[in-house]
Chains A and B, each alone.
Chain A
Amino acid sequence: MAGSLGLLPAWARSGTPGAGRARAGSDVLSGETIALEIGATHFATGGRASHAVTVNGTLPAPLLRLREGQTVRIAVTNRLREQSSIHWHGLLVPFHMDGVPGISFPGIDPGETFVYEFPLTHSGTFWYHSHSNMQEAVGLYGPIVIDPLEPDPLGADREHVLVLSDWSPIHPHEQMRRLKMQGGYFNRQKQTLQGLLAGRDQSLSDRLAWAKMRMDATDISDVTGSTYSYLVNGHGHAENWTGLFAPGEKVRLRVINASSMTNFNFRIPGLPLTVVAADGNPVQPVETDEVQIAIAETYDFVVAPGEAQTYGIVAEAIDRSGLVRATLARRAGLVAETPKLRRRPLLTMRDMGMDMSGTEGGADGVIDLSKPAGGTEAHSMKGHSMSMRDPSVAPGVRMGPGVATLSPMPVDRLADRPTGLEDAEHRVLTYADLRASDPNPDPRVPSRRIEVHLTANMERYMWSMDGKAMSENPSPIPFRLGERVRIVLINDTMMPHPIHLHGHFFELVSGEAGHRARKHTVNVLPGGKVSLDLTADGEGDWAFHCHMLLHMHAGMMRVVTVRREQEQPKVEAGGGEVL
């Protein structure tokens, strides 16, 4: 693995004394003028080697350690033979500095240097990545830490930045092609006859009910550990990234999920995690044992390792097809124990958007799906049948081959434990546990409400919003500058989708108003819905998409427009996206 070590920036190397104390220089980049060079390289880990796209020759890209209040000038030079770009994920920047080719700017052509310039108006843990040609799947991602103007009240003694990611020798374009040929191509944890005979997984009657609907209860991740190696700061499992601590120290971990297709279950067995920030925004400290970190989310934790020698940091793919272990240690060279991969979870009726009254949390909910639609009125709501594809539940969705199912009764799942952690025996963070430290800046009640359906056909590997893929050039989702709108995301698929809105934070509508968690990315659980309150204060055009890279690429994306109101406000909705 020596070859790959050369690519790692100093802060990401094993045994680093901590990013906060890392030297400034080419590996941790600070100051108001920064130069980044995107180049084609090679990367190998865990026996998996392939072409990579990196920044300044490292994977992950250099840590940008900046300070709130600065105005930074970041010159990005593209040394690839194809176009590239960098998007500053979670930073509130003017839209034309947001880095999405075709929406915010033209992209950076080969040989070209583009100078991004923007003020840093807030602090926290963020990241950056390419928004071109799926380059983020092959290495173009890196962390950003913006230190606050005021001294941080947390007063951690030391901090480490952990960039979680996935690495496959199969190029994402080829992954996509194989998934189009066979939706379950990378799933090697399907239910089998052997499992049935051994009494594992679903019972025969449940299997038949699911088979009748052509739904696979093991369809949790599209691209899995069968091709991925999972990385912490560019280190695979065997390379054991190690972060140091001294006895009695309070250690802050800034954890970023920079994966292209992997949601991670994150835990440090034996060491409670105190969540202090989500998506860069401080939250009221809440202690937990495990957190599912969806793609593109960032969480800051404070841990107190005390007098122990080592702790294992475990990032496990949510379908349990693989994991990566890193170590928190008193000194370099110590290796923490690796827990066994836990058993692969199964999806439940709740993941189909069928909320069974009386079986709330319903992993064991049983319903007779063989009855014809309409024959289960006892379970229906508002007269909707339990049909899995009744267009009346989603009038804004364009039906077609790309929409295999519509959740008949989606429930708000912000207080649910995330996929696969329903039955974990320790504490698991839910979105409802997150309360913002600071009062929400905009207390207005939204003036209107829109729904966006996340739609798919897993067998054909088609992904869309409201049944229309981005490649069909759908109408954008329009907002007035400054208006407050509730966005309801309804997941009509069996897979969680981390949905990201560029250029804004939104509040998760959970619990009392006033201190709701503010995020840039929300993981919408299968068959469920979430409500977000958005103040559309970023004038311009923005991308809005699923951060599962292949889902975005396949079409689960929209352009969001934010415009000053015209003289004569018009009230006509012009497209199918807006309800």
Chain B
Amino acid sequence: MPLIVALALGATSAGVAPQDRDHESHAASAPGDMDHSAHAGHVMQSHAKQDAPSAEPGDAQPPEIPADHPADRYFPPERMAAARAAMIQEMRFRTFALQVDRLEYRTGSAGDGFGWEGQAWYGGDVNRLVVASEGEGTFGERAERIELATYWRHALDPWFNLQLGMRHDFRPDPQRSYALIGIEGLAPYWFELEGQLLVSDKGDAHARARASYQQRITQSLVLEPELEADFALQDVPELNIGAGFERFELGARLRYERNRSLAPYLGVHWERKLGQTARLARRAGESASGVSAVLGFRAMF
């Protein structure tokens, strides 16, 4: 019975022209109307399960969305138009960030060296321009790897991003430029994953995969294992690369993150050339694998 009353009320209020309604006119009719619709709600206690509201709303259609701006009647319309644009603009997030994932000193069997990995970006939530770089080398020698990538990073879904751009390798010699397409993101269980496909200006194709995980030991101590693998789809003799897995990198870094913006770490880094690439390295008198202790920092600016 209350439901029928409610529906009738709903229908009535939907049909009545709403002009000149104000609180007072309704307050006058309040007590009588309320009694009809209140019966279903008697069980309400503070911690009782929320009951169905005693009277369900009607199904009136929403009004048309207006296109006017009432403030224009009180203030110069051109100022209001500028203010509207400014409000939207103010809420449009675009920024610059510099994130150094690692900048480190390495010491190991093959001598002392260095490594870095990081990116700078400009943009918003969905679209960003990223300049990423990574590399490594041994002190006193020409750097082994210097990579600089520029790509458009586009958010595909809540967790994953598309990368589209290019990478230029200043080392090894001869230099190469690659077209780059990749996917990066956060997988279930908080694994950070990245996969890239690279095709050089000479036509050779490569793939790279990367995975890492942040294990928080205490609020300030974070262990980050990381894995990176390069794969060549064909031999590239000029670069001493053989088809198949080229390179495999495994690291674990223990970071002291009292300050999230600047966190020192130490860890181990193991790198190994694989397959034909390893044989080519040995033939050139280089060692195919090396392990080093690392000391460095991670920073966000």
Among A439, A445, A459, contact of B186 (Cβ-Cβ < 8 Å)? A459
Contact with B along A70-103 (1 / 0, CB 8 A): 0000000000000100000000000110000111
**Residue of A with least CB distance to B40:** A512
B70 & A194 in contact (Cβ 8 Å cutoff) = no
Among A430, A460, A483, A485, contact of B158 (Cβ-Cβ < 8 Å)? A460
B42 & A481 in contact (Cβ 8 Å cutoff) = no
Bound-complex Cα distance A573 to B57 (A): 18
Assuming the contacts A445-B58, A450-B62, A564-B19, asked whether A211 and B190 have C-beta atoms less than 8 A apart, the reply is: yes
Please give, as numbers and ranges, the residues of chain A lying within 8 Å of B202 by CB-CB distance: none
A513 & B65 in contact (Cβ 8 Å cutoff) = no
Is residue A571 within 8 Å, beta carbon to beta carbon, of the partner chain? yes
**Residue of B with least CB distance to A132:** B90
Classify the secondary structure of B's interface with A. Answer: loop
Which A127-174 residues sit within 8 Å CB-CB of chain B?
133
The 5 A-B pairs with the shortest beta carbon distances in the complex, nearest first, are A102-B87, A482-B21, A482-B18, A401-B155, A571-B61
Is residue B53 within 8 Å, beta carbon to beta carbon, of the partner chain? yes
Which A173-226 residues sit within 8 Å CB-CB of chain B?
176-178, 180-182, 185, 188-194, 208, 211-214
Please give, as numbers and ranges, the residues of chain A lying within 8 Å of B93 by CB-CB distance: 176, 180, 471, 554
Q: Which of B33, B45, B50 has the most CB of A within 10 A?
A: B50
A537 & B80 in contact (Cβ 8 Å cutoff) = no
**Residue of A with least CB distance to B215:** A193
Please give, as numbers and ranges, the residues of chain A lying within 8 Å of B91 by CB-CB distance: 469-471, 553-555, 557
User: At the interface with chain A, which of B8-16, B139-147, B241-249?
Assistant: B8-16
B75 & A105 in contact (Cβ 8 Å cutoff) = yes
17 A-B pairs with C-beta separation under 8 A: A96-B71, A103-B71, A105-B80, A106-B82, A133-B90, A177-B97, A194-B218, A402-B125, A441-B30, A444-B13, A445-B10, A445-B55, A476-B66, A482-B22, A513-B54, A553-B91, A563-B63
A481 & B21 in contact (Cβ 8 Å cutoff) = yes
Among A106, A178, A446, contact of B75 (Cβ-Cβ < 8 Å)? A106
Please give, as numbers and ranges, the residues of chain A lying within 8 Å of B217 by CB-CB distance: 192-194
Bound-complex Cα distance A176 to B97 (A): 12
Is residue A440 within 8 Å, beta carbon to beta carbon, of the partner chain? yes
Shortest Cβ distance from residue B97 to the other chain A in the assembled complex, whole angstroms: 5
Bound-complex Cα distance A415 to B49 (A): 7
Q: Which of B20, B46, B95 has the most CB of A within 10 A?
A: B46
Is residue A53 within 8 Å, beta carbon to beta carbon, of the partner chain? no
Q: Which of A442, A475, A476 has the most CB of B within 10 A?
A: A442
Is residue A377 within 8 Å, beta carbon to beta carbon, of the partner chain? no
Please give, as numbers and ranges, the residues of chain B lying within 8 Å of A395 by CB-CB distance: none
Is residue A433 within 8 Å, beta carbon to beta carbon, of the partner chain? yes
B63 & A569 in contact (Cβ 8 Å cutoff) = yes
Is residue A578 within 8 Å, beta carbon to beta carbon, of the partner chain? yes
Is residue A570 within 8 Å, beta carbon to beta carbon, of the partner chain? yes
Shortest Cβ distance from residue B127 to the other chain A in the assembled complex, whole angstroms: 10
A481 & B66 in contact (Cβ 8 Å cutoff) = no
Please give, as numbers and ranges, the residues of chain A lying within 8 Å of B86 by CB-CB distance: 83, 101-102, 107
Known: A401-B156, A561-B65. 17 other contacts (CB 8 A): A103-B84, A178-B260, A182-B300, A189-B219, A191-B216, A400-B157, A401-B157, A432-B47, A457-B158, A475-B65, A478-B63, A509-B53, A510-B50, A514-B34, A537-B21, A564-B18, A573-B62
Classify the secondary structure of A's interface with B. Answer: loop
| Chain A count of residues within 8 A CB distance of the other chain | 106
A570 & B70 in contact (Cβ 8 Å cutoff) = no
Which A387-426 residues sit within 8 Å CB-CB of chain B?
389, 400-404, 411-415
Bound-complex Cα distance A372 to B125 (A): 30
**Residue of B with least CB distance to A531:** B53
**Residue of A with least CB distance to B22:** A537
Among A192, A212, A415, A578, contact of B46 (Cβ-Cβ < 8 Å)? A415
Shortest Cβ distance from residue B75 to the other chain A in the assembled complex, whole angstroms: 5
Please give, as numbers and ranges, the residues of chain A lying within 8 Å of B300 by CB-CB distance: 178, 181-182
Is residue B284 within 8 Å, beta carbon to beta carbon, of the partner chain? no
Please give, as numbers and ranges, the residues of chain B lying within 8 Å of A404 by CB-CB distance: 158-159
Bound-complex Cα distance A448 to B13 (A): 10
Bound-complex Cα distance A553 to B27 (A): 38
Which B34-92 residues sit within 8 Å CB-CB of chain A?
34, 37-38, 41-42, 44-50, 53-66, 69-71, 74-76, 79-80, 82-92
Is residue A539 within 8 Å, beta carbon to beta carbon, of the partner chain? yes
Is residue A32 within 8 Å, beta carbon to beta carbon, of the partner chain? no
Bound-complex Cα distance A540 to B74 (A): 11
B219 & A512 in contact (Cβ 8 Å cutoff) = no
Bound-complex Cα distance A564 to B33 (A): 25
Among A95, A540, A565, contact of B17 (Cβ-Cβ < 8 Å)? A565
Assuming the contacts A95-B71, A578-B62, asked whether A441 and B27 have C-beta atoms less than 8 A apart, the reply is: yes
Shortest Cβ distance from residue B216 to the other chain A in the assembled complex, whole angstroms: 5
Is residue A360 within 8 Å, beta carbon to beta carbon, of the partner chain? yes
Assuming the contacts A96-B75, A104-B71, A105-B74, asked whether A444 and B186 have C-beta atoms less than 8 A apart, the reply is: no
Please give, as numbers and ranges, the residues of chain A lying within 8 Å of B218 by CB-CB distance: 192-194
Q: Which of B65, B216, B260 has the most CB of A within 10 A?
A: B65
Bound-complex Cα distance A215 to B287 (A): 44
Shortest Cβ distance from residue B258 to the other chain A in the assembled complex, whole angstroms: 9
Among B17, B37, B47, B126, contact of A401 (Cβ-Cβ < 8 Å)? B126
Shortest Cβ distance from residue B271 to the other chain A in the assembled complex, whole angstroms: 27
Is residue A350 within 8 Å, beta carbon to beta carbon, of the partner chain? no
Contact with B along A549-564 (1 / 0, CB 8 A): 0000111010001011
Is residue A248 within 8 Å, beta carbon to beta carbon, of the partner chain? no
Please give, as numbers and ranges, the residues of chain B lying within 8 Å of A539 by CB-CB distance: 70
B41 & A511 in contact (Cβ 8 Å cutoff) = yes
Among B37, B75, B155, contact of A445 (Cβ-Cβ < 8 Å)? B37
Please give, as numbers and ranges, the residues of chain A lying within 8 Å of B69 by CB-CB distance: 541
A512 & B44 in contact (Cβ 8 Å cutoff) = yes
A512 & B63 in contact (Cβ 8 Å cutoff) = no
Is residue A48 within 8 Å, beta carbon to beta carbon, of the partner chain? no
Assuming the contacts A430-B47, A443-B29, A470-B91, asked whether A478 and B66 have C-beta atoms less than 8 A apart, the reply is: yes
Assuming the contacts A513-B54, A514-B38, A537-B23, asked whether A107 and B83 have C-beta atoms less than 8 A apart, the reply is: yes
**Residue of A with least CB distance to B99:** A181
A411 & B64 in contact (Cβ 8 Å cutoff) = no
Is residue B174 within 8 Å, beta carbon to beta carbon, of the partner chain? no
Is residue A301 within 8 Å, beta carbon to beta carbon, of the partner chain? no
Is residue B229 within 8 Å, beta carbon to beta carbon, of the partner chain? no
**Residue of A with least CB distance to B300:** A181
B90 & A459 in contact (Cβ 8 Å cutoff) = no
A208 & B189 in contact (Cβ 8 Å cutoff) = yes
B26 & A570 in contact (Cβ 8 Å cutoff) = no
